[in-house]
């Protein structure tokens, strides 16, 4: 059995070991490529400051690159039984291949700053992957907005019929929501894009490490300068990422809720194809929007993520605590769920078909009350007097809805200005270093 990096020859209780490791090895497999990247940068830096020879650096880098290409990228990499974490596994593999040279890789480094580097590189990549999905969903929503911009939709406030809307407005609203969601992601991307390597266990090292050099090698935008704060950033980065995921989940949640409502029989605003619905075991007429009900539920769980992380990290003093390990149990599955929901939305949105001529029904005549008020104002009546007059017409049954709509307001059903929304999304996407 491989020794622990911290092993001092004392016996280790199996129950304690199982409890403390938990699911960490499972999650650590995700960090494998990033651990190798961080180790390569660290080795090159050690050579630069004279703690490794050029030959030693070359041998270590070559073996790390081999591990990355032949083991990790091919899906063959495993964390062996008895090995505590990804950092230990990589070091043991190096030592097995290169002997005592492999033991030099940890100079000036702690597992604390190793995992911080791994996580930040992982978050950075995951956020960029999310932006690609968001871009695809954004395009799908805008395409639907343009396709159905002339199809009217009852607008609701307080779940009561309010004013005329359109499917162009509805689809476009969620497209623009994604712009703000991407801004949230960019904020968390910036926080993740700072190098903590060299902070060691939170108090630095007496070795003459070149932190600027590793920052450059790992293509971080900057570094966590203060070594204590670098460790305090554990949990804070996850908190920032969780807020971004929660904001995106809120958009998905509201979209899914709308679809469930609009697809219901009493509303009947949209139709869903068979492949997006399920049936009932007893009622043959049923076409249930299970996909969107599940997305509504899953996104609600993601929205609670910032609270969970705040509770986990909120009462801890500065410095490392083993509590932080549980952050992986929260944030890693959250990425998986959000990516799965985005993929489903990308697939489903183009398949949604609005029902035509919804506002022809007399039950929606009241939606045009504001149009009637505005017509009276345009003819010279004050707004308040016009409001009172239309209220009386509605009460006495004399109200005739003016259904000839002519909206020119920017962002309204007659003037979507989707090009502006598209421009805003392009601008925020360009902020990422892709």
Domains of the chain (ranges, CATH numbers): 14-107 (1.10.275.10), 113-359+410-429 (1.20.200.10), 361-396 (no CATH)
Tell which residue, 166, 121, 165, 173, has the closest CA to residue 142: 173
Residue ranges of alpha helices (H) inside 222-354 are 227-232, 236-263, 290-303, 305-313, 327-348
pLDDT at 20 (0 to 100): 60
Alpha helices by DSSP H, 279-326: 290-303, 305-313
The reported pLDDT for the residue numbered 279 is 63
In tens, the pLDDT along 275-314 reads: 887 765 676 676 788 999 999 999 999 999 999 999 999 8
Prediction pTM value? 0.91
The SS3 assignment for 282 reads coil
pLDDT of the residue at 280: 56
C-alpha–C-alpha distance, residues 331 and 245, integer Å: 9
Q: In this model, does residue 13 exceed pLDDT 70? A: no
Please answer whether residues 240 and 289 qualify as being in contact, where contact means their C-beta atoms are separated by less than 8 angstroms: no
Judged by DSSP in three states, 74 sits in coil
Q: How far is Cα 131 from Cα 138, in angstroms, rounded to an integer?
A: 10
Q: Which of 359, 361, 416, 419 is nearest to 173 (CA)?
A: 416
Mean pLDDT to the nearest integer, 125-149: 97
Confidence of residue 247 (pLDDT cuts 50, 70, 90): very high
H or E element, residue 186: helix 167-192
pLDDT per position as a tens digit, 113-135: 999 999 999 999 999 999 999 99
**Which pLDDT belongs to residue 265?**
84
pLDDT grade for 6, boundaries at 50, 70 and 90: very low
Q: What is the mean pLDDT of the chain?
A: 92
**What pLDDT is recorded for position 113?**
94
Structural tokens at position 353: 């078909």
Q: What is the pLDDT of residue 10?
A: 55
Residue 107 CB partners (closer than 8 Å, separation 6+): 46, 51, 207
pLDDT tens digits, one per residue of 326-365: 999 999 999 999 999 999 999 999 999 999 999 998 999 9
84 band by pLDDT with thresholds 50, 70 and 90:
confident
Position with higher pLDDT, 284 vs 9: 284
């Amino acid at each position: 059995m491989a020794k622990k990096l911290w092993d001092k020859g004392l016996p280790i209780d199996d129950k304690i070991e199982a409890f403390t490791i938990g699911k960490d090895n499972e999650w650590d497999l995700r960090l494998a490529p990033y651990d190798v990247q961080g180790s390569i940068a660290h080795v090159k830096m050690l050579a630069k400051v004279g703690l490794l020879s050029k030959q030693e650096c070359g041998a270590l880098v070559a073996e790390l690159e081999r591990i990355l290409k032949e083991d990790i990228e091919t899906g063959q990499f495993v964390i062996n039984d008895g090995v505590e974490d990804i950092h230990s596994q990589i070091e043991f593999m190096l030592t097995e291949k290169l002997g005592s040279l492999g033991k030099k890789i940890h100079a000036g480094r702690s597992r604390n700053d190793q995992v911080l580097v791994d996580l930040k590189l992982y978050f950075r990549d995951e956020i960029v992957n999310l932006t690609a999905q968001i871009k695809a969903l954004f395009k799908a929503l805008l395409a639907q907005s343009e396709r159905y911009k002339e199809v009217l939709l009852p607008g609701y406030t307080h779940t009561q019929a309010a004013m005329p809307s359109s499917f162009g407005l509805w689809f476009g609203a969620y497209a623009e929501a994604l712009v703000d969601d991407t801004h949230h992601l960019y904020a968390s991307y910036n926080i993740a894009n700072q190098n903590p390597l060299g902070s060691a266990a939170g108090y630095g090292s007496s070795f003459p490490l070149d932190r600027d050099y590793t920052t450059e090698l790992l293509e971080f935008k900057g570094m966590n300068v203060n070594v204590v704060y670098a460790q305090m950033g554990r949990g804070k980065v996850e908190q920032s990422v969780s807020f971004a995921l929660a904001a995106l989940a809120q958009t998905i949640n509201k979209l899914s809720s709308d679809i469930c409502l609009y697809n219901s029989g009493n509303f009947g605003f949209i139709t869903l194809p068979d492949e997006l619905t399920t049936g009932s075991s007893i009622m043959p007429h049923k076409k249930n929007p299970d996909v969107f009900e599940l997305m509504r539920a899953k996104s609600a769980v993601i929205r609670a993520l910032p609270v969970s992380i705040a509770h986990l990290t909120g009462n801890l003093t500065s410095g490392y605590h083993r509590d932080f390990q549980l952050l992986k149990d929260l944030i890693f599955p959250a990425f998986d769920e959000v990516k799965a929901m985005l993929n489903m939305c990308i697939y489903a949105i183009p398949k949604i078909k609005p029902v035509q001529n919804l506002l022809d029904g007399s039950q929606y005549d009241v939606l045009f009350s504001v149009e009637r008020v505005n017509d009276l104002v345009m003819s010279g009546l004050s707004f308040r007097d016009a409001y009172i007059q239309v209220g009386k017409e509605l009460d006495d049954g004399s109200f005739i809805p003016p259904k000839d709509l002519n909206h020119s307001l920017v962002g309204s059903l007659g003037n979507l200005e989707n090009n502006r929304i598209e421009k805003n999304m392009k601008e925020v996407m360009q902020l990422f270093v892709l």
